[in-house]
Amino acid sequence: MNNLPSAMMAVTKQEPTPGVVIRDVPIPVMGPDDVLVKVQAVSLCGTDVHIYNWDAWASGRMHPPLTIGHEFAGTIVEVGSNTSRVMPGDFVSAESHIICGKCLQCRMGQYHTCQNVKILGVDTDGCFADYTVVPENNVWVNEPTMPPHLASVQEPLGNAVFATLVEPVTAASVAIFGCGPTGLCAAAVAKAAGAGLVVAIDVNPYRLDLAERMGAYVTLNPMEDDIIEELKRRTDGNGVDVVLEMSGSPAAIQTGLKSLRMGGRFTSFGIPSVPVDIDFSEIIFKGIRVLGVSGRRMFETWYQTAALLKTERLNLAPLVTHRMMLSDFDNAMHIMRSGMSGKIVLTPDGM
Ligand code: ZN
């Protein structure tokens, strides 16, 4: 640990209660298969809101004390003795799902559904700190010229790439329900992949404006528009080819199924907080493919994401609406919970 301080600032969950504690903690200890990264930028995710609020999901899953956070970009400062693919000085981000490599799904190559998955900043110490440790296997080496605030948001962008491109969307009509960061990214990805129609739907005008800047051709607000009617009108009465459900809202899920054409694809990404009452016969008689999507394919999605970013057809610039210091975390969380933000990127105060 040459030239490294002995302690660092970290955003931690100390007790099983709402909120966070910002405090000095020891620099995390690295194992032989890990790398130590000096963090340059981190970004807030909906998962962090669940953790901050300490809702039923967070309290059922997490075991404080723990440093939180799982989206970041930074520079490797040390590598473990078993590592071989990366080296100090590499500018990196990371897949946040740490897989076991041994369960049925891992052995079948379905790593994103590993039954023993550990999530950075949820099950292990995360990246909302000056330094973070991740397994070499999870490291994604970025283009050195990529700005850290955009490199950090590749991880959630990957959610949108997986959800949108799980089946082709070229020339397809795509309706995105929910314009949080993942829905916003999905609009950009659908456009970049050549969708014929990209409709973004949300009740929040601020987010609809962002969706338009990200690539949505049309925005609709269920408070003002008849969504099913509007989507059918724009598709010769057929309904859309693809619904990307990013909101988790029971009403959006029901409307989405009704808005799909016969034989359409329904991708379910938003997580409902309550059981949803749906008419299953609609799925059967319309021949709808319902695809549940979580995480990213390891590492196919990362290669797709990097390739899309290289084309410059994917315009991420409007996505990051706020940039703040990590010590201003409570304020950042307040903005995020208000719904008046896209992605919020934080810089560790030591940078
Ligand atoms: Zn596994």
Ligand 1: centre distance to CA 290 (Å): 24
Q: Give the whole-angstrom CA distance, residue 243 versus residue 239.
A: 10
Residue with tokens 């315009």: 315
State pLDDT tens for residues 283-297: 999 999 999 999 999
Assess whether pLDDT exceeds 60 at residue 57.
Answer: yes
* Distance in Å, CA 140 to ligand 1 centroid: 19
Calculate mean pLDDT across residues 269-293: 95
Closest residue by Cα to residue 76 from 93, 90, 55, 65: 90
For residue 112, indicate whether it is catalytic. Answer: no
User: Distance from the CA of 107 to the center of ligand 1, in angstroms?
Assistant: 7
Cα-to-centroid distance, 101 and ligand 1 (Å): 5
50 noted as active-site residue: yes
Quote the tokens at residue 127. 């990246």
Could you tell me the distance, in angstroms and rounded to a whole number, from the CA of residue 138 to the centre of ligand 1?
14
Q: Pull the structure tokens for residue 8.
A: 């660092």
If one counts every other C-beta atom within 10 angstroms of the C-beta of residue 288, the result is 19
Q: What are the structure tokens assigned to 177, written together?
A: 């329900």
User: How many angstroms separate the CA atoms of 24 and 30, rounded?
Assistant: 18
pTM, entire model? 0.95
DSSP 143: P
Vertex 143, ends 140 and 148: CA angle to 5°? 80
- For residue 191, the CA-to-ligand 1 centroid distance in Å is 34
Please tell me which residue in 12, 17, 47, 112 is annotated as part of the active site: 47
* Amino acid at residue number 133: V
* Options 12, 50, 83, 132, the catalytic residue: 50
Q: How many helices (H) and strands (E) does the chain have?
A: 12, 18
In the reported structure, the alpha carbon of residue 298 is separated from the centroid of ligand 1 by a whole-number distance in angstroms of 12
Convert the pLDDT of each residue in 183-242 to its tens digit: 999 999 999 999 999 999 999 999 999 999 999 999 999 999 999 999 999 999 999 999
For residue 53, give the 3-state DSSP assignment.
helix
Identify the band that residue 39 occupies on the pLDDT scale cut at 50, 70 and 90: very high
| pLDDT for 273 | 86
Torsions phi, psi of 317, nearest 5? -50, -45
CA of 135 to the centre of ligand 1 (A): 15
